[in-house]
């Protein structure tokens, strides 16, 4: 075999090795332990929260505004097809002047052809104490004909990572002329006991406060150093082979 074809074969092999070695950045998905996440269990903590939800439709600064409706909405006895965006205050007590503890940000839409019912899609964004910056996501059905109801809590962030639970809701006041209303929320939620010092900002760097939490999706250190070693070896092999052949 000619010398040049041997060299080309070796070069090709080296290049192949380089492309085949694992990359040092994170793999798409890999199993992770509770220890790596810095939590003991997914539902270690149980928290009950009680607050009041204020939706203001009247006045010059409403917290709930209709953003869409269907052509038939005005003819519908249940306002089917109407969609409202909300940024409602959550307060400690039922009075609007009571201390603000968070905001309910999301949407509700009229979803029932036969009775008045809403689909609620919202994030409860807390501003108070250790819950400051943490959120709970709520997705459920609110029957407006009943004075009480229940909404599922489907997830959370910050202090409420891995949250699951429910909110019991109870109408306090409702003005049918203006649409203004106050609803009591009594939320029961299971969630992970991560770091109590977590600010719940939700940013990936937030994980630093969890001590053993790996940086955002990085591979384990042994895997990373192995692939680095392989990659360095391959890089040095090419000049070395040249040196021996010529």
Residues of this chain that bind ligand NAG (CB under 6 A): 113-114, 127-128, 132-133
**Spatial separation of the C-alpha atoms in residues 143 and 145, rounded to whole Å:** 6
Q: Which is nearer to ligand NAG, 104 or 169 (CB)?
A: 104
Q: Which is nearer to ligand NAG, 109 or 133 (CB)?
A: 133
Those residues with Cβ within 8 angstroms of residue 183's Cβ, 6 or more apart along the chain or in another chain: 52, 53, 55, 169, 170, 171, 172
The residues pairing with 189 across neighbouring beta strands, listed in sequence order, are 47, 165
Cα Rg, the chain, nearest whole Å: 28
Maximum distance among all alpha carbons in the chain?
94
Q: What are phi and psi of 126, to 5 degrees?
A: -90, 150
Q: Which is nearer to ligand NAG, 116 or 172 (CB)?
A: 116
Q: What's the DSSP call for residue 140?
A: E
CB of 204 to ligand NAG, least distance (A): 17
Q: Which is nearer to ligand NAG, 75 or 221 (CB)?
A: 75
CB of 134 to ligand NAG, least distance (A): 10
CB of 197 to ligand NAG, least distance (A): 13
């Amino acid at each position: 075999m000619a010398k040049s074809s041997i060299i080309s074969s070796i070069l090709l092999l080296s290049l192949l090795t380089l492309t085949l070695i694992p990359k040092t950045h994170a793999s798409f998905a890999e199993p992770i332990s509770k220890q790596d996440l810095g939590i003991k269990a997914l539902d270690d903590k149980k928290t009950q929260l009680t607050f009041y939800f204020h939706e203001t439709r009247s006045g010059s600064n409403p917290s709930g505004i209709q953003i869409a409706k269907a052509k038939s909405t005005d003819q519908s006895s249940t306002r089917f097809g109407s969609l409202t965006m909300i940024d409602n205050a959550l307060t400690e007590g039922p009075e609007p002047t009571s201390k603000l503890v968070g905001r309910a940000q999301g949407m509700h839409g009229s979803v029932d052809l036969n009775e008045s019912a809403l689909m609620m899609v919202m994030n409860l964004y807390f501003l108070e104490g250790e819950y400051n910056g943490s959120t709970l996501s709520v997705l459920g059905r609110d029957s407006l004909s009943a004075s009480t109801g229940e909404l599922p809590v489907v997830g959370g962030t910050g202090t409420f990572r891995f949250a699951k639970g429910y909110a019991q809701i109870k109408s306090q006041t409702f003005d049918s002329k203006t649409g203004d209303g106050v609803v009591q929320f009594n939320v029961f939620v299971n969630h992970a006991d991560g770091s109590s010092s977590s600010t719940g900002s939700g940013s990936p760097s937030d994980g630093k406060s969890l001590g053993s939490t790996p940086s955002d999706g990085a591979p384990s250190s042994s895997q990373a150093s192995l692939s680095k070693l392989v990659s360095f070896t391959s890089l040095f092999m090419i000049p070395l082979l040249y040196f021996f052949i010529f």
